[in-house]
Amino acid sequence: MLAAGLALALGVVAVPASAATWWTATPTMTIGSASVNVRNAGALGNGVHNDTAAFQAAINSLPSTGGTVTVPAGRYMIDAVTSVKLRSHVRLKLDPLAQLVAIPNSSTRYYVLKAWGVSDVEITGGQIIGDRVKHIGTTGEWGMGVDIRSSSKVYVHDLKVSDCWGDGFYIGATGSASTAVPSTDITVSRVTSNNNRRQGLSFGPVQRVYVVNSAFTNTNGTAPQDGIDIEPQTQGISKDIRIEGTTIAGNMGNGLELQQNVTGVVLKSSTVKQNRGFGVLSEGGTYSWIAANLITENGLDGVGMVATTHDVKITSNTITYNSTRWFYANNKSIYTLTSSTRDVQIGSTTYNIYLANNKLSPKP
């Protein structure tokens, strides 16, 4: 895999567009000065009462300049089919012990928190719990915890999302390919997304998204079951996504997946571990960089570059003891020395894939 025929001179492989320093873990939002407590709008937080209308009333009571909705500790039942719809210049500030719990439903599609067509929005603290354990229906895969579409300057941090019928987080666009407006300048910091059914985090069309110091773990239930899936399909382009200091582990699908129309992804200083599929799989990602990560003990190869992938740098990673599914199937320890490929796969149709200074599994 490190053969000279696959490794090009460093200067030939273009640096991702995302190498320009546009990201920050603490972006500045323009939030109004008004404040309202969701309890004063009628929310009970007792784990029984439907608090959806009270949340929406609190948000809607803020002036056009926005403000902060504070959510004290409690268990707030939310009709995720109706959704809590955020407005521009609004901060939703949850107490660390506040839980927004999706009321069980039979819908194929829901959103606990919905940020569509807004700007300067902050969501912080607390926990969102989906209804996968008590979901009434059996079909669909689009029950989302936090859904951000066609929005700009959204900052989500210190939030836990779990047990959603679909994705913990979705960031993308509304509309068709001809009308879709990508989400731009989104920061996701110190969040966890665990035990969701379809993905920990999915991307549609976006530009400039920073995911930092977060965790996307234990996705299981319906394909693709990835930790993070960047898959805008034909709706638009996913561009300039930086994932840093993040754990992607224990997912039934791939850890990180890049599909067509994806460019400028950076995965840096992160841990991609014990996913059942590939650690990192690109079937069409371009001008991307995988650097200084620990990619280990994944079921298939640690890194797979296949199909139309091109112009990718893979540098200074520890990529060891992958392809665990083969080892387990053959009753071997994953630490067995082997001369076969297990850590990096480069497909014959890819080009401009540069590998340097990676530590791979030892060979006999």
pLDDT tens for the chain, 364 residues long, are 333 333 433 444 555 544 579 999 999 999 999 999 999 999 999 999 999 999 999 999 999 999 999 999 999 999 999 999 999 999 999 999 999 999 999 999 999 999 999 999 999 999 999 999 999 999 999 999 999 999 999 999 999 999 999 999 999 999 998 899 999 999 999 999 999 999 999 999 999 999 999 999 999 999 999 999 999 999 999 999 999 999 999 999 999 999 999 999 999 999 999 999 999 999 999 999 999 999 999 999 999 999 999 999 999 999 999 999 999 999 999 999 988 889 999 999 999 999 999 999 999 8
Tell which residue, 319, 324, 331, has the closest CA to residue 360.
319
C-alpha 254/C-alpha 352 separation (Å) is 23
Q: What DSSP element (H or E) covers 359? A: strand 359-360
Environment class of 44 (CB within 10 Å of its CB; exposed 0-12, middle 13-18, buried 19+): middle
Counting every residue written for the chain, the total comes to: 364
- 3-class DSSP state for residue 134? coil
Walk across the sheet containing 160-162 and list its strands.
46-50, 74-78, 98-102, 127-129, 160-162, 192-194, 215-217, 247-249, 271-273, 294-296, 318-320, 359-360
pLDDT recorded at residue 2: 37
> What is the reported pLDDT for 4?
30
Q: Kindly report the three-state secondary structure assignment for every residue of 79-128.
A: CCCCCEECCCCEEEEECCCEEEEECCCCCCEEEEEEEECCEEEEEECCEE
Token pair of 320, please? 């060891």
CB 238 within 8 Å of CB 230: yes
How high is the pLDDT of residue 20? Answer: 72
The pLDDT of residue 224 is 98
Tokens of 62: 């803020």
| pLDDT on residue 16 | 54
Domain ranges of the chain: 10-30+74-360
Beta bridge partners of 298: none
Structure-block tokens of residue 115: 């940020």
Place of tokens 């599929």: 277
Q: Is the dihedral of CA 319, 321, 325, 330 positive or negative?
A: positive
User: Domain spanning 10-30+74-360: which CATH class is it, in words?
Assistant: mainly beta
| pLDDT score recorded for residue 332 | 95
pLDDT score, position 290: 98
**Close Cβ partners of 68 (under 8 Å, ≥ 6 residues apart):** 31, 32, 34, 35, 36, 90, 91, 92, 93
Task: Name residue 24's amino acid.
Answer: T
Which residue is associated with the tokens 């500045």?
28
Residue 19: what pLDDT? 54
Instruction: Find, among 64, 67, 69, the residue nearest to 42 by Cα.
Output: 69
